[in-house]
């Protein structure tokens, strides 16, 4: 059984959160939905997320500002951020999103299959990263046990046989 991958969804509008929840809700995901930058920053202090889906226009700060704050924290510097916005311009907003550190910028209305596929990539990367970390920890433990065995043999000196 796979552990659900935590995803942070940030949007000030309840209807947008509900729409994203309808698209991404599955046993494979643990959705954390918040409506402000402050709530998002607090959630990031409590949980390691696989990805953040972030609205551009919010009342307390822009999504671009929040993305910079998120990625400015050493622990989150590689956290994938996907902007999901209905704000359309001549492409300037998309470029601002990438400049803020986003890995993607999706405009509404979006194809749910495309969004699920994009999120699935980051969910799989999250799972692989955690699997590798667990394997590395296991190898470190084995190495420590071998080092202890070698140290014990060295300290007991050469064996004498008759």
Domain of residue 121, CATH code = 3.40.50.2300
Low-confidence ranges of the chain (pLDDT < 50): none
In a domain, residue 21? The reply is yes
Residue 54 counted as domain residue = yes
User: H or E stretch including 88?
Assistant: none
Please return the burial class of 140, using the count of CB atoms within 10 Å of its CB with bins 0-12, 13-18 and 19+.
exposed
CA distance 12 to 58: 6
**Domain range holding 75?**
5-130
Residue 77, token pair as written in the block:
């510097």
Position 100 in a domain: yes
Name the domain count of the chain.
1
The pLDDT of residue 93: 87
- Is residue 55 a part of any domain in this protein? yes
- Tell me whether residue 51 is in a domain: yes
Instruction: Provide the pLDDT for residue 80.
Output: 96
Kindly list the distances between the CA atom of residue 135 and the CA atoms of 1, 55, 138, 140, in Å, as whole numbers in the listed order.
Answer: 18, 36, 5, 9
Q: Is 148 a domain residue?
A: no
Instruction: Specify if 9 maps to a domain.
Output: yes
Tell me whether residue 79 is in a domain.
yes
Q: What are phi and psi of 82, to 5 degrees?
A: -115, 120
């Amino acid at each position: 059984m796979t552990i659900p991958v935590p995803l942070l969804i940030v949007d000030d509008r309840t209807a947008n959160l509900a729409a994203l929840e309808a698209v991404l809700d599955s046993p494979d995901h643990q959705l954390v939905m918040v409506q402000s930058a402050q709530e998002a920053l607090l959630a990031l202090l409590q949980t390691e997320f696989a990805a953040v889906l972030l609205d551009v226009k919010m009342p307390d700060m822009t999504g671009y500002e929040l993305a910079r704050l998120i990625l400015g924290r050493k622990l989150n510097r590689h956290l994938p951020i996907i902007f999901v916005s209905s704000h359309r311009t001549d492409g300037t907003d998309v470029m601002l999103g990438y400049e803020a550190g986003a890995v993607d910028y999706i405009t509404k209305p979006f194809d749910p299959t495309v969004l699920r596929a994009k999120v699935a990539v980051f969910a799989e990367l999250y799972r692989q990263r955690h699997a590798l970390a667990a394997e590395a920890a296991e190898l470190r433990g084995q190495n420590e046990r071998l080092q202890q065995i070698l140290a014990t043999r060295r300290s007991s000196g050469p064996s004498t046989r008759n």
